[in-house]
Amino acid sequence: MNNKIKTLGLNLLLLAIAIVTLAPFVWMVSASFMPNGEAFVFPPKFLPDTFSLTQYEKLFTRINIGRFFLNSFILSVSVTFISLFFNSMAGFVFAKYKFAGKDKLFKLLLSSMIIPAQVTMLPLFLMLKEMGFINTYLAIIIPGMANIFGIFLIKQYAESIPDSLIEAAKIDGASDFQIYYKIFLPVIKPILVTLALFTFMGTWNDFIWPLIALSDQSMFTLPVALANLMGEHSQDPELMMAGSTLTILPIIIVFLVLQKQYIKGIMLGSVKE
């Protein structure tokens, strides 16, 4: 009896937390289908009276959201693939190769994680400006090509892969790059997927750096464009919600597609320790 009450209480608590967490998202989606002026009426409405696609229409016709969407997509995909390549290569070397000063170098890199990103923004901006990359895709891609967190994540995972797997490939005749490409990458797939998810979401949602580095409106990413929308159309909450819904949609899709891989452990059965 006591246990049942406990379980019930726990479930009610979890339900309450779920409602609090999900409600804004559900309202966001719901409001995006409302006609102008319906989102902020009193008493507030949770569902639209009439289901309307006007806001989405406006987004594509008046605001050219397609362009921002494409910008975000190109940047997020490029940064994800490029950074996965460099992070995994660096993680591979840090985990599986011996070289002088390896530990010191890694500690030095790791210690840079305590520096807040904002501190590096100004020097980064000046450097990229000097190189003529400001207001181009490269201004977002180059700083995102590798990051310590990604290297750290890959290295930690790779350390659990037995050296014998790499050595077996070495004896089988594979070159270092072949080992990386044909053995290492497939074996670390679960962590690659995780990192891909983090990187994609991070780049997709990033606001401050694209705001600084991209000044031309045609280069804007979704979050930057969305913020602009707020300035221009502050009386238009339904339009804002439609923009927000479109912004988070790809993230949800990417997550749903990758979540299986994300959870799956591929190493099962390879070795017996």
Partner 1 sequence: MAKVELKNVSKIYMGGHKAVDNVSFNIDDKEFVVLVGPSGCGKTTTLRMIAGLEELSDGEIFIDGKPVKNVPPKDRNIAMVFQNYALYPHMTVYENMAFGLKIRKFPKNEIKKMVEETAEILELEKLLNRKPKVLSGGQRQRVALGRAIVRKPKVFLFDEPLSNLDAKLRVQMRAEISKLHRKLGATMIYVTHDQREAMTMGDRIVVMKDGIIRQIDKPLRLYRFPKDQFVAGFIGSPAMNFIKGKMVFENGLPALRASGGFLYRFDERLKEKLSKYINENAALGIRPENIALNGSSEQSYKAEIELIEPLGAESLYYLNLFGDKLIAKAQPLNDDLKYETVGITFPKEKVHLFVNEKAVSLK
Residue ranges binding partner 1 (CB under 8 A)? 162, 164-165, 167-174, 178, 182-183, 186-187, 189, 266-273
Minimum distance of partner 1 from residue 163's CB (angstroms): 9
88/94 Cα distance (integer angstroms): 10
Minimum distance of partner 1 from residue 260's CB (angstroms): 16
Minimum distance of partner 1 from residue 103's CB (angstroms): 12
Nearer to partner 1, 161 or 225 (CB): 161
Number of neighbours of residue 100 by Cβ within 10 angstroms: 7
Nearer to partner 1, 162 or 250 (CB): 162
**Mapping DSSP to helix (H, G, I), strand (E, B) and coil, where does residue 174 land?**
coil
Minimum distance of partner 1 from residue 270's CB (angstroms): 3
DSSP 44-107: --SS-SS---HHHHHHHHTS-HHHHHHHHHHHHHHHHHHHHHHHHHHHHHHHH---TTHHHHHH
Torsion sign (Cα): 176, 181, 187, 190: positive
Nearer to partner 1, 45 or 170 (CB): 170
Nearer to partner 1, 173 or 231 (CB): 173
